[in-house]
Amino acid sequence: MSVQRTLAIIKPDVVEKRQQGVVLQRILDEGFRVLAMRQARLSRQAVEGFYAVHRGKPFFDELCDFMSRGPVVLLALERENAVAHWRAVIGATNPANAEPGTIRKELGSSVGENAVHGSDSEENGARECDYFFAGVDQA
Ligand code: CMP
């Protein structure tokens, strides 16, 4: 295992419910180091670029509408085994399939509105942190 980075996004559904603090506290309790954090209302273009790998899939438009409908909280996180650890903490993509105690089980409402994002590989963790936080190495 090694120290890795992962990008976490607290999605608009959580911000609308004013529950960002629940997720932030969980991030700290799980031992992540917050390298960078900011709240932003993402443009449709920024969301389409971030999720470019999903372009052409049936849910792409719905995903981009949702992620650009209100503010999100973006976090570049670092920890030993960060990618797998964060994915375990957030749970399955579809909250209906997520384990009890995971963030998506507790805060997500559907596969589209699933509360949080996590990078799916070490390579994507570094790339996604860089997408929103160029120069995060200096943190
Ligand atoms: P996320 O981990 O942010 O990465 C891609 C997102 O696409 C995923 O979370 C889901 O919110 C969304 N997604 C995946 N499958 C579907 C689907 N079948 N319908 C709607 N959204 C989906």
How many helices and strands, by DSSP H and E, does the chain display? 7, 4
Tell me, using a 6 A CB cutoff, whether residue 24 lines ligand 1: no
CB neighbour class for 45 (10 Å; exposed up to 12, middle 13-18, buried from 19):
exposed
CB neighbour class for 53 (10 Å; exposed up to 12, middle 13-18, buried from 19):
exposed
Tell me, using a 6 A CB cutoff, whether residue 114 lines ligand 1: yes
Distance 114 CA to ligand 1 centre (A): 8
Ligand 1 atom closest to Cα of 113? 11
- pTM here is 0.96
Secondary structure of residue 5 in the 3-state scheme: strand
Ligand 1 atom closest to Cα of 9? 3
- Nearest protein CA to atom 3 of ligand 1, as residue: 117
Tell me, using a 6 A CB cutoff, whether residue 104 lines ligand 1: no
Reading the chain (139 residues) residue by residue, the pLDDT tens digits are: 799 999 999 999 999 999 999 999 999 999 999 999 999 999 999 999 999 999 999 999 999 999 999 999 999 999 999 999 999 999 999 999 999 999 999 999 999 999 999 999 999 999 999 999 997 764 4
Is residue 54 annotated as a catalytic residue, yes or no? no
CA-CA distance, 75 to 73, in Å (whole number)?
Answer: 7
- Nearest protein CA to atom 13 of ligand 1, as residue: 112
